[in-house]
């Protein structure tokens, strides 16, 4: 099943659409959704449809900052029950760890990664839709929302040392600078925030020490994250080793402190095999890299551990049924032909509705 997001992620969409001269119901229908899909904050809707909704609305309204404007209307409560627990985390580090650990309780398409090096902390943001979909508006919404959460927890004027986007800069940066600050960098090699490691220890001003003992009880109201497995550990190592071409099963087993035989047995116990894991990791990374216009197909093939772009193209077509170039064109079709290019414009709203029903019935 494709990844979904909570309807709360689009809170304020209708009001924002009307404020820029759009008919919210028409935009929602063009994205393959029904108006009722956005009626309940707890409703789950296909993430790719939400991405098309934001991109269509940005293009139709002429507002390149549509995603940022939507972020400005958000409240901490959009995270659902997790927002209650988040308020009681003692510091910024623990709050970010909680957001990352429970990220799929509010957005199944998002991936957050915290890294620390040379006195800097970096929170990278990825979106994995599993199909061609535009990412600009969703990424700007996600980064602005993350920054907003940090400001709620730490202080209203908190400012990172850098706000980075892998996509190119828009023509006008007024809203970007007002909401994100002056340290903007576009055409970067990643999307996310950069700030001092010491700031991870900043106190959460919303936390009430008297409520901290109730944290476990509050956390039980949040869907628990999936337990970390050997497959997860293998996926992480493969993702790290693919770009350097040292991702054999023997090398991964060594990285886990296991023999190849033991690793194979443990994967068998989880009904997984190593080749499938490598292909799944490549598929996820390919989607992320193809969303970055700065990377050529040669660059992407190298990052995925292929010896030549032709090998990457053959693998990609076998995996997804279209070429890497075709994927890029499909995910940007809205910029060229807003009506016909969007898959959902020819798809009945019931398609999105069925996905919602299936998802909420899990």
Considering the domain boundaries, does residue 137 fall inside one? yes
Residue-averaged pLDDT of the chain? 88
Closest CA to 326 of 294, 286, 355: 286
One domain for residues 60 and 187: yes
pLDDT of residue 349: 38
One domain for residues 86 and 12: yes
Distances from the Cα of 335 to the Cα of 64, 136, 150, 328, 332, angstroms: 12, 12, 32, 12, 6
Least confident of 69-83, 161-175, 318-332: 69-83
Considering the domain boundaries, does residue 348 fall inside one? no
One domain for residues 135 and 267: no
* 52-69 average pLDDT score: 96
Sequence-distant (≥ 6) Cβ neighbours of residue 67 within 8 angstroms: 54, 58, 136, 137, 138, 139, 140, 141, 144
Distances from the Cα of 318 to the Cα of 99, 288, 289, 330, angstroms: 35, 18, 18, 17
pLDDT of residue 350: 39
Closest CA to 129 of 282, 283, 236: 283
Considering the domain boundaries, does residue 355 fall inside one? no
The residue with tokens 């902390």 is: 121
Check if the beta carbon of residue 312 is closer than 8 Å to that of residue 301: yes
One domain for residues 105 and 68: yes
CA dist., res. 315 & res. 301, Å (int): 10
* 100-118 average pLDDT score: 93
> Which residue blocks in 45-117 are alpha helix, DSSP H?
47-61, 66-72, 81-86, 92-101
pLDDT of residue 362: 36
* 13-39 average pLDDT score: 94
The string of pLDDT tens digits covering residues 260-280 is 999 999 999 999 999 999 999
CA dist., res. 191 & res. 252, Å (int): 27
Considering the domain boundaries, does residue 329 fall inside one? no
The residue with tokens 């020490």 is: 209
Reply yes or no on whether the pLDDT at 311 is more than 70: yes
One domain for residues 125 and 256: no
Check if the beta carbon of residue 74 is closer than 8 Å to that of residue 11: yes
Considering the domain boundaries, does residue 81 fall inside one? yes
Q: Which of 219, 249, 279 is the last residue of a domain?
A: 219
Least confident of 6-20, 21-35, 218-232: 218-232
pLDDT bucket at 216, cuts 50 / 70 / 90: confident
* 113-127 average pLDDT score: 96
* 178-192 average pLDDT score: 95
Reply yes or no on whether the pLDDT at 343 is more than 80: no
One domain for residues 152 and 266: no
Check if the beta carbon of residue 243 is closer than 8 Å to that of residue 305: yes
Overall domain count for the chain: 2
* 281-295 average pLDDT score: 92
pLDDT of residue 328: 92
Sheet of strand 184-185, all strands in order from the earlier edge strand to the far edge: 110-117, 120-127, 192-196, 162-164, 184-185
CA dist., res. 257 & res. 19, Å (int): 57
> Which residue blocks in 182-308 are alpha helix, DSSP H?
215-219, 230-241, 249-255, 260-269, 274-290, 297-303
Q: What share of the chain in percent tops pLDDT 90?
A: 73
pLDDT of residue 228: 82
Tell me, rounded to whole angstroms, the distance of Cα 147 from its chain centroid. 14
One domain for residues 161 and 301: no
Query: pTM value?
Result: 0.86
Considering the domain boundaries, does residue 353 fall inside one? no
Backbone angles phi, psi at 336, to 5 degrees: -105, -40
The residue with tokens 């004027």 is: 157
One domain for residues 70 and 197: yes
pLDDT bucket at 325, cuts 50 / 70 / 90: very high
pLDDT of residue 39: 83
Domain carrying residue 195:
4-219
One domain for residues 112 and 214: yes
Q: Which of 219, 252, 267 is the last residue of a domain?
A: 219
The string of pLDDT tens digits covering residues 249-258 is 999 999 999 9
Reply yes or no on whether the pLDDT at 352 is more than 90: no
Considering the domain boundaries, does residue 333 fall inside one? no
One domain for residues 136 and 252: no
pLDDT of residue 79: 86
Look at 50 and 214; give whichever has higher pLDDT. Answer: 50
Sequence-distant (≥ 6) Cβ neighbours of residue 241 within 8 angstroms: 247, 251, 252, 255, 305
One domain for residues 196 and 251: no
CA dist., res. 277 & res. 294, Å (int): 27
pLDDT of residue 236: 93
> Which residue blocks in the chain are alpha helix, DSSP H?
13-19, 24-30, 47-61, 66-72, 81-86, 92-101, 136-153, 174-180, 215-219, 230-241, 249-255, 260-269, 274-290, 297-303, 309-320, 324-331, 349-360
Neighbours of 296 (CB within 10 A): 10
pLDDT bucket at 28, cuts 50 / 70 / 90: very high
CA angle 21, 25, 29 (to 5 degrees): 120
């Amino acid at each position: 099943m494709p990844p979904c997001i909570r309807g709360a992620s689009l809170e304020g969409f209708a009001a924002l659409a009307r404020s820029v001269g759009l008919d919210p119901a028409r935009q929602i229908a063009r994205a393959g959704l029904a108006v009722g899909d956005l009626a309940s904050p707890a409703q789950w809707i296909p993430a790719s449809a939400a991405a098309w909704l934001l991109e269509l609305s940005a293009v139709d309204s002429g507002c390149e900052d549509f995603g940022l404007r939507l972020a400005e209307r958000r409240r901490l409560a959009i995270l659902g029950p997790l927002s209650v627990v988040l308020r009681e985390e003692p510091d910024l580090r623990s709050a970010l760890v909680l957001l990352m650990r429970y990220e799929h309780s509010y957005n199944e398409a998002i991936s957050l990664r915290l890294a620390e090096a040379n006195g800097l902390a970096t929170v990278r943001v990825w979106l994995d839709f599993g199909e061609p979909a535009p990412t600009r508006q969703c990424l700007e919404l996600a980064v602005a929302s993350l920054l907003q959460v940090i400001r709620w927890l730490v202080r209203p004027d908190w400012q990172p040392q850098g706000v980075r986007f892998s996509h190119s800069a828009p023509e006008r940066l007024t809203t970007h600078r007002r909401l994100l600050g002056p340290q903007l960098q576009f055409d970067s090699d990643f999307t996310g925030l950069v700030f001092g490691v010491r700031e991870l220890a900043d106190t959460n001003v919303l936390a009430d020490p008297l409520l901290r003992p109730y944290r476990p009880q509050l956390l039980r109201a949040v869907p628990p994250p999936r337990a970390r497995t050997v497959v997860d550990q293998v996926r992480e190592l493969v993702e790290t080793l693919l770009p350097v071409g040292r991702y054999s099963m023997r090398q991964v087993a060594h990285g886990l402190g296991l023999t190849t035989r033991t690793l194979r047995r443990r994967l068998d116990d989880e009904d997984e095999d190593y080749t499938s894991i490598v292909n799944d990791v490549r598929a996820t990374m390919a989607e992320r890299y193809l969303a970055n216009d700065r990377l050529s197909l040669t660059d992407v093939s190298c990052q995925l551990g292929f010896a030549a772009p032709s090998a990457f193209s053959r693998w990609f077509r076998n995996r997804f049924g279209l070429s890497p170039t075709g994927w890029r064109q499909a995910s940007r079709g809205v910029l060229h032909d807003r009506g016909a290019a969007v898959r959902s414009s020819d798809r009945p709203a019931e398609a999105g509705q069925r996905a919602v029903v299936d998802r909420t019935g899990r």
